[in-house]
Chain A
Amino acid sequence: MPALCRDCLTTFDAGARCPACASRRVAAHPELFSLSIAHMDCDAFYASVEKRDNPDLADKPVIIGGGARGVVSTACYIARIRGIHSAMPMFQARRLCPEAVVIPPRMEHYAAISREIRAMMQEMTPAVEPLSLDEAFMDLGGTARLHGAPPAVMLARLIRRMRDELGIAGSIGLSHNKFLAKIASDLDKPHGFSVIGQADTDAFLRDKPVSLIWGVGATSRAALERAGIHTFADLLRWDRSDLHARFGSMGERLWTLARGQDTRRVSANHPVKSISNETTFATDTADPDVLDGHLWRLAEKVSDRAKARDLAGRVVTLKLKTADHRLLTRRHSLRDATHFADTIYRAARDLYDRGGASAGPFRLLGVGLSDLCPAAQADRSGDLLDPAATARHATERTTDAIRRRFGAQAIRKGRSLR
């Protein structure tokens, strides 16, 4: 079986120990040297940057995050042993681990280091698709001849460079598509190097929970469970058309992913996928007037950002977090893409009235716009049954013009004052 020493980068055939340097950090897989799609994920990125910059923290539990009602954005591996994980509310984290060192995030500093890592990746291939500051997809297809080494070796070299030159640890997932590469990078963290080949895809996925799919959150999982779908094996029993009928476009994606197929390309200049804004309240609220005011302001912010980028979207998402940290998301597909605050607000308000209101009080409210397209393709057709919409849109265009000229506060809806 083809094997690679992750320390000295020697390639050899099988064995648990490197014949050159006797290291045990060996990656071995039948398809090791033929796979080319990778996902690199830094290990506890923000926390490792802080530990690198301040060696005193090396053996202490470190949490990055902050604010009275903030959440953990990253916890180092020592803190994770204590049960702390990202997105956990800070008060809970402090209770679990009172001696943890809590550091407010220094995003600009992390971004600078992220750029250095990205530059290293871009030396290997132009097809680098960053997902966030600390993770990225890479397609190394066709680069073996250029580098004189297969992708697996280049990836091991990248991790070694990140460690030696930047002091940052990362894990690699190597597979034949993005979906599996992302799953693989998480299998063996930290300092991981996992491979999922074509031949072992089906066996690997079979008994895994469908929640492994990126984008299948609590709500989708509950919907899937109602249909008796827990694992990939359950999914395989469904017809494509039935999945589509029941879950819409998600069903279509589930069908292909269940077979370990994912044809999405690693794309260097990935366009913006969604625009969203959310707010966490100082105190939980169920007051419909207060929430309505927030809904409008969030819709307006999302709309402003869309307009600034000349974008519009077809899907409006409402996000609510209840006092007991349950997250509810509701989405509505518009027939015509929009970037009007009025339309976004109405859709979000409708989602709130139909699906959310009764679950209050809430601690967080968010509004998002996705399935984006150029603004030129948006709001092109009126509604026969809502002739007033045309007038409202004209008003919004005028208000926008006034705000552009005299500043954002020059004119506001009364609704936004609540």
Chain B
Amino acid sequence: MKLSIERSALLKAVSQAQSVVERRNTIPILANLLIEAEGEHVHFRATDLDIEVVDRAMAQVERAGATTVSAMTLHEIVRKLPDGALVTLTEDSAAGRLTVEAGRSHFNLATLPREDFPVMASSEYASNFSAPAPVLRRLFDKSKFAISTEETRYYLNGVYMHVAESDGGKVLRCVATDGHRLARIDADLPEGAADMPGVIVPRKTVGELRKLLEDDDMQIAVSVSETKVRFATPDITLTSKVIDGTFPDYTRVIPQGNTRKMEVDARDFAHAVDRVATVSSERSRAVKMALDEDRLVLSVNAPDSGAAEEELAVAYGDERLEIGFNAKYLLEIASQVDRENAVFLFNSPGDPTLMREGNDTSAVYVVMPMRV
């Protein structure tokens, strides 16, 4: 194999692929990238056995072929090369080496045979559809903060992507929860997605997927089966196993009868919460919200370290209410609001609270209160 490629194109492809590679590997081949050159393209493939990413870049291929080298080493080398450099990769299969040349720099890297590289078995996808990058970006960005890290409930360690009924129509929906808060985000159902099986997309995959979604004009090809999910742009294909488990029935969790409504500027609210929480040194900082006729008093009382209070003007017309929350959770849901006011719907101080943006029900958050 021999090919030449422009440094920035190489860096983009390699850095995308290498981020899938686990930092500490007991199996050497999993620390490597599979480089395949053919025609006008070179493909970089990386896997952790659960996720596989293939990056394609244009290259001048002099001699087709394939080999594998350490993802981290190659990435570091390319990163340190000067911008604009032309990089030549040459495989010496007899010596089991790959040389990397750019200008006066010359590197010689150990390789492992391409046959050893585990390529994820291709599967039949039950559903194939295409969705604009901004739509997927919104679905995952707004839900991923609620993903659980608890190993015992492994089926919560991802975002549940599925087709749901909403106001009589079908929507593409992402839900994540850790038992303390929940995010439910809807988008218009893309054409051809109606038969998609519901899947739990693992946390790491959600992180990797984000890199495919930067370009607003990009259409993402999505393929879903019971066991795998694939997201692809013309240059990048991300394939991932999905979490083998049943996502709990979240619909019961979303309160329907919360009537006490508070409307507040999300940014002002977040800043105030952040300020009052400063005095608490506890791990889970509890903030008390005291509501009365268009007035919200946020307070923290930490006997060991101090107390804080701040008043905010809000729209609230119901009877007096005092309710506590984990400051971090309040900040996280408040920061999901980007256009309108945050609308909170409370029930009692012991019941889950609902938050949405204005009257928009396509993004709904539920948070469990905390005793204060």
Show the binding face of A for B, using Cβ within 8 Å.
226-227, 242, 245-246, 332, 335-336, 350, 354, 373, 377, 379-386, 390
Contacts and interface: CB of A to CB of B under 8 A. Distances in A.
23 contacts: A227-B24, A242-B23, A242-B24, A245-B23, A245-B24, A350-B152, A373-B283, A377-B282, A380-B324, A380-B370, A381-B180, A381-B284, A381-B326, A381-B369, A381-B371, A382-B369, A383-B179, A383-B180, A384-B179, A384-B182, A384-B253, A384-B366, A386-B179
Judged by DSSP, the binding face of A is mixed
A384 B24 contact: no
B358 interface: no
Contacts of B13: none
Interface in B334-372: 350, 352, 366, 368-372
B152 A383 contact: no
B222 interface: no
Contacts of B179: 335, 383-386
A351 to B, nearest CB: 9
Contacts of B369: 381-382
B248 interface: yes
Contact of A380 (B153, B248, B352, B371): B371
B152 A382 contact: no
A227 B283 CA distance: 31
B23 A384 contact: no
Contacts of B178: 335
B157 interface: no
Contacts of B26: 226
A246 B25 CA distance: 11
A108 B153 CA distance: 46
A82 to B, nearest CB: 42
B177 interface: yes
Contacts of B152: 332, 350, 354
B180 A390 contact: no
B27 to A, nearest CB: 13
Q: SS class of chain B's interface: helix, strand, loop or mixed?
A: loop
A385 B24 contact: no
B24 A383 contact: no
A153 B40 CA distance: 79
B253 A377 contact: no
A246 B26 CA distance: 13
Nearest to B326: A381
A337 to B, nearest CB: 8
Contacts of B182: 384
Interface residues of B, number: 28
A336 B284 contact: yes
Interface in B135-193: 150, 152-153, 177-182
A390 B352 CA distance: 12
A277 B192 CA distance: 58
Nearest to B254: A384
Interface in B267-285: 282-284
B21 to A, nearest CB: 14
A310 to B, nearest CB: 13
The 10 closest A-B pairs by CB, nearest first: A380-B371, A381-B370, A383-B179, A380-B370, A384-B253, A385-B179, A381-B368, A385-B248, A384-B179, A382-B368
A227 B371 CA distance: 42
Contacts of A373: 282-283
Nearest to A381: B370
A384 B180 contact: yes
B177 A385 contact: yes
B38 to A, nearest CB: 36
Nearest to A226: B26
Contacts of A245: 23-24
B163 to A, nearest CB: 22
Given A245-B23, A350-B152, A381-B369, 10 more contacts: A226-B26, A242-B23, A373-B283, A377-B282, A381-B180, A381-B370, A382-B350, A382-B369, A386-B179, A390-B350
B286 interface: yes
B154 to A, nearest CB: 11
A383 to B, nearest CB: 4
A168 B9 CA distance: 75
A242 B22 CA distance: 11
A125 to B, nearest CB: 26
Contacts of A386: 179
Given A381-B326, A381-B370, A383-B368, A335 B24 contact: no
Contacts of A332: 152
Contacts of A227: 24
Contacts of A226: 26
Contacts of B248: 385
Nearest to B252: A387
B350 A377 contact: no
Given A383-B180, A384-B177, A386-B179, A246 B24 contact: yes
B350 A384 contact: no
B371 A335 contact: no
Contact of B352 (A242, A335, A384): A384
A197 B350 CA distance: 56
Contacts of B23: 242, 245
A354 B153 CA distance: 12
A17 to B, nearest CB: 53
A380 B180 contact: no
Interface in B23-47: 23-24, 26
Contacts of B324: 380
A290 B361 CA distance: 51
Contacts of A390: 350
A273 B24 CA distance: 33
B10 to A, nearest CB: 26
A38 B368 CA distance: 48
Contact of A335 (B150, B253, B350, B366): B150
Contacts of B366: 384
A86 to B, nearest CB: 35
Nearest to B286: A380
A373 B302 CA distance: 13
Nearest to A377: B282
A296 to B, nearest CB: 19
Contacts of B368: 381-384
Contacts of B177: 384-385
Contacts of B283: 373
A348 B177 CA distance: 23
A354 B291 CA distance: 45
Contacts of A242: 23-24
Contacts of A377: 282, 284
Contacts of A382: 350, 368-369
A177 B47 CA distance: 44
